[in-house]
């Protein structure tokens, strides 16, 4: 890192601090802090959706998957079509219900116990995925770019982790969701510029797109979008089963994401913001997977030295080091600082979103139930304390992550989400489309699914050869069972439990579910939904769906 790199980074942080400082003057009530007063435009909502999703775990982890497994994980980055589902199917129910959190909607549809379970699962999910993964990825960047600045690479890792958590926490606590939304919008463009720069310089050194395609074609089994059924990690059937389950949970029911749409000034803005976010979501495959593949190709050609590590007795490329190594090696002074700023932007945008979502979940769904009647200022203070606790738990989980992340950071992220998502996805889909589903079914489905999902995660992390415990063979086999297929099994079990218990118990009161399912929508609700649609909504929808189809058609055959 040279002088002008630090200058660029300092300017960037100054801009972020200014935005947060300005927003801090507008935090008077919990509505201001958690939903930015419900007065945000669609452009900021879409930009925040994109920037919150594309965190440092994407830039580091997705590039790493591009280097190690090619297009296998691209299915998760082609989820723009699910954002269309969010806009047209889910947002109208959420927005009209006037809720602060998604678990709050679940309480209205079912009961308070279902809300509690989803809130607790969501908070735990933030510890295992969003906080720990995002901080871990950011710390890897510090370890690679500044290995000797703090004495040792290990010191750089932990100092980087702590520093980014503290800085991000300060501006999120000060500015609330308004600061998150507006800083996310600025950071989204920094991410795009940084990733485009690394792709351009990498392809220029390599000799162009044709050279990359030729090298990848020679290793088609490793880099193909669709893998055979006997592939141990990414069989095509497993991808088709698990990817939509995780995608619907993440994009349509996760407080971390959906909270942005709830901040829209009206239903039309909320829907359009989700669709604009879908347009932006078309780009990650090109911006993050491709640079990783370029890094792999340069390593194969001897143009770039990327660290390796031992996996299963074999010395293989360390995918999570590809993007930081390319930044350090390929980019000129000044531009290197801009890209590092982009990496920090990714880290901070994801963390800031987690922090605010955590505060909203705990304060609205847990604390207010235990201690009702508190002042608005008191609730904001409680949310800030809850955020700090979740951050500490996420940091404590970081040392365990290498045990379950041998195949890469992004692989770890998707595997954990595959264990948490199925019961939540099942409850929301059945709850919206089948009015017969009742509270007892929802509670049992969430409980059973959560226990089975956490059991798989714990066994995978702790039991087996080279893990903390050797354990019996059947437990090790359970831990090693493919995460994609397990997601499908867990989804089927959750549906069976929800439907079975609901049918075995009395149906819900029609007055309670009025307007909360498709079969119980009121005439006013239908009319409002119809009148909120505009030509731009249909154009954005066509762009998103057309882009997804085009990407699948091209990358399904690009190596053959």
* Residue 422 confidence (pLDDT): 96
Residue with the larger pLDDT of the pair 550 and 221: 550
Residue 431 lies in a domain: yes
Poorest-confidence range of 328-332, 372-376, 397-401, 505-509? Answer: 397-401
DSSP reduced 3-state for 137: helix
Domain count, the chain: 1
* Residue 172 confidence (pLDDT): 58
Poorest-confidence range of 215-224, 225-234, 302-311? Answer: 302-311
Q: Is the pLDDT at 401 greater than 70, yes or no?
A: no
CATH number at residue 75: 1.20.1730.10
For 89, the domain range is 3-19+29-557
Residue 384 lies in a domain: yes
Residue 150 lies in a domain: yes
How big is the CA angle at 325 (ends 324 and 327), to the nearest 5 degrees? 65
- Mean pLDDT score of the chain: 80
Confidence (pTM): 0.83
Helix runs in 146-235, H state only: 153-206, 209-217, 220-223
- Predicted confidence band of residue 36 (pLDDT cuts 50, 70, 90): very low
* Residue 33 confidence (pLDDT): 45
pLDDT in tens, 286-309: 877 888 888 888 888 888 888 777
Mean pLDDT of 311-329: 75
Among 377-386, 477-486, 489-498, top mean pLDDT goes to 489-498
Q: Is the pLDDT at 425 greater than 80, yes or no?
A: yes
Residue 146 lies in a domain: yes
Mean pLDDT of 458-478: 74
Mean pLDDT of 370-389: 77
Contact 291, 326 (CB under 8 A): yes
Residue 190 lies in a domain: yes
- Predicted confidence band of residue 314 (pLDDT cuts 50, 70, 90): low
Q: Is the pLDDT at 177 greater than 50, yes or no?
A: no
Distance between CA atoms of 168 and 178, rounded to whole angstroms?
14
Residue 407 lies in a domain: yes
Poorest-confidence range of 43-47, 223-227, 408-412, 526-530? Answer: 408-412
Among 6-10, 120-124, 251-255, 500-504, top mean pLDDT goes to 500-504
Contact 69, 320 (CB under 8 A): no
Per cent of the chain over pLDDT 70 is: 82
Mean pLDDT of 327-351: 75
Contact 38, 264 (CB under 8 A): yes
Q: Give the length of the chain.
A: 560
* Residue 231 confidence (pLDDT): 85
Structure tokens at 349: 């945008």
Which residues, in sequence order, are CB contacts of 417 under 8 Å at separation 6+?
125, 129, 246, 249, 250
Residue 24 lies in a domain: no
Residue with the larger pLDDT of the pair 151 and 400: 151
* Residue 169 confidence (pLDDT): 65
* Residue 183 confidence (pLDDT): 62
Residue 402 lies in a domain: yes
Contact 277, 46 (CB under 8 A): yes
């Amino acid at each position: 890192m040279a002088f002008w790199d630090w200058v660029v980074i300092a300017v960037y942080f100054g801009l972020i601090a200014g935005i947060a400082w300005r927003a801090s003057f507008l935090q008077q009530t919990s509505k201001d802090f958690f939903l930015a007063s419900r007065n945000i435009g669609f452009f900021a909502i879409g930009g925040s959706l994109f920037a919150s999703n594309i965190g440092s775990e994407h830039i580091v982890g997705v590039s790493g998957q591009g280097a190690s497994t090619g297009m296998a994980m691209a299915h998760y980055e082609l989820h723009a079509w699910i954002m269309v589902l969010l806009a047209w199917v889910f947002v109208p129910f959420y927005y009209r219900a006037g809720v602060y959190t998604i678990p709050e909607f679940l309480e209205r549809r079912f009961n308070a116990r279902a809300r509690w379970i989803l809130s607790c699962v969501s908070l735990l999910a933030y510890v295992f995925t969003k906080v720990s993964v995002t901080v871990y990825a950011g710390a890897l960047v510090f370890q690679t770019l500044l290995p000797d600045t703090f004495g040792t690479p290990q010191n750089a890792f932990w100092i980087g982790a702590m520093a980014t958590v503290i800085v991000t926490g300060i501006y999120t606590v000060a500015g609330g969701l308004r600061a998150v939304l507006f800083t996310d919008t600025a950071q989204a463009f920094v991410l795009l510029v940084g990733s485009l720069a690394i792709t351009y310089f990498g392809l220029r050194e390599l000799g162009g797109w044709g050279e990359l395609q030729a090298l990848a074609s020679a290793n088609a089994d490793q880099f193909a979008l669709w893998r055979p059924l006997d592939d141990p990690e990414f069989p095509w059937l497993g991808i088709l089963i698990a990817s939509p389950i995780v995608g619907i949970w993440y994009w349509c029911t996760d407080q971390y994401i959906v909270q942005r749409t709830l901040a829209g000034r009206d239903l039309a803005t909320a829907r359009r913001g989700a669709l604009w976010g879908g347009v932006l979501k078309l780009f990650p495959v090109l911006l993050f997977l491709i640079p990783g593949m370029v890094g792999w190709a340069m390593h194969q050609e001897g143009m770039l030295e990327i660290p390796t590590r031992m996996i299963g007795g074999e010395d293989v490329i360390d995918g999570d080091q590809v993007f930081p190594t390319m930044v350090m090696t390929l980019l000129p002074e000044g531009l290197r600082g801009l890209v590092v700023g982009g990496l920090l932007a990714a880290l901070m945008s994801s963390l800031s979103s987690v922090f605010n979502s955590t505060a909203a979940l705990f304060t609205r769904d847990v604390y207010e139930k235990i201690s009702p009647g508190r002042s608005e200022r008191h609730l904001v203070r409680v949310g800030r304390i809850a955020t700090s606790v979740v951050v500490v738990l996420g940091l404590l989980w970081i040392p365990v992550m290498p045990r379950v992340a041998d195949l890469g950071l992004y692989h770890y992220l998707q595997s954990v989400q595959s264990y948490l998502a199925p019961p939540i996805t099942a409850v929301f889909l059945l709850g919206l489309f089948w009015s017969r589903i009742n509270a007892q079914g929802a509670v049992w489905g969430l409980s059973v699914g959560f226990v089975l999902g956490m059991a798989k995660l714990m066994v995978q992390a702790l039991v087996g050869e080279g893990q903390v415990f050797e354990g019996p063979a059947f437990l090790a086999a359970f831990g090693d069972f493919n995460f994609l297929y397990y997601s499908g099994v867990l989804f089927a079990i959750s549906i069976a439990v929800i439907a079975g218990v609901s049918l075995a118990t009395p149906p819900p009161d029609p007055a309670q579910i009025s307007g909360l399912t498709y079969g119980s929508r009121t005439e006013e609700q239908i009319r409002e939904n119809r009148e909120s649609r505009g030509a731009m909504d249909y154009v954005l929808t066509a762009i998103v769906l057309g882009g997804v189809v085009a990407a699948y058609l091209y990358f399904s055959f690009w190596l053959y």
